[in-house]
Amino acid sequence: MIRHSFALAALLLAGAALAPAGAQAQIDCTRGGLLKAAELYVAAQGSGDLAGLPLAANVGYWENMVIGDIKTGIVSQAMKIDHHRSIVDDASCQSFTEVIITDSAKPYVLGTRLRVNHDKIAEVEVLWTTTGYWLFNADNYLKYSSAEDWGPIPAADRDSRATILAAANAYLDAFLEGKKDQVPWGYPCVRIEGGMYTGKGRDDDSCEVGVPAGVNIANRRFVVDEVLGAVVVFCTFGTGSPSGGSGAPDTHLFRVESGRLRYAHTLTHLLQSSFRGAAPTP
pLDDT greater at residue 1 or residue 173 = 173
pLDDT at 41: 98
Residue 38 has pLDDT above 70, yes or no: yes
Least reliable range by pLDDT among 19-23, 40-44, 113-117, 206-210: 19-23
Cis peptide preceding 212, ω within 30 of 0: no
Confidence of residue 242 (pLDDT cuts 50, 70, 90): low
Identical fold for domains 20-130 and 155-274, yes or no, is: yes
Average pLDDT over the chain reads: 90
Span 207-217, average pLDDT: 87
Tally Cβ neighbours within 10 Å of residue 153.
19
117 bridge partner residues: 120
Please name which of 157, 176, 147 lies closest in space to residue 260, comparing C-alpha atoms: 157
Domain residue ranges of the chain, discontinuous segments joined by +:
20-130, 155-274
Classify domain 20-130 at the CATH topology level. Answer: Nuclear Transport Factor 2; Chain: A, (3.10.450)
β pairing state of 66-67 and 260-268: unpaired
Residue 211 has pLDDT above 50, yes or no: yes
Within 8 A by CB and 6+ apart from 126, the residues are: 62, 63, 64, 73, 74, 75, 110, 111, 112, 113
- The 3-state DSSP class for residue 41 equals helix
Asked if 269 and 127 touch (Cβ cutoff 8 Å), the reply is yes
Span 125-140, average pLDDT: 98
pLDDT at 143: 98
Classify domain 155-274 at the CATH topology level. Answer: Nuclear Transport Factor 2; Chain: A, (3.10.450)
Taking only the tens place, the pLDDT of each residue in 53-91 is 999 999 999 999 999 999 999 999 999 999 999 999 999
Task: Report the percentage of the chain scoring pLDDT > 70.
Answer: 87
pLDDT at 261: 98
DSSP 8-state code for residue 30: S
pLDDT at 185: 97
Confidence of residue 277 (pLDDT cuts 50, 70, 90): low
Least reliable range by pLDDT among 122-136, 153-167, 204-218: 204-218
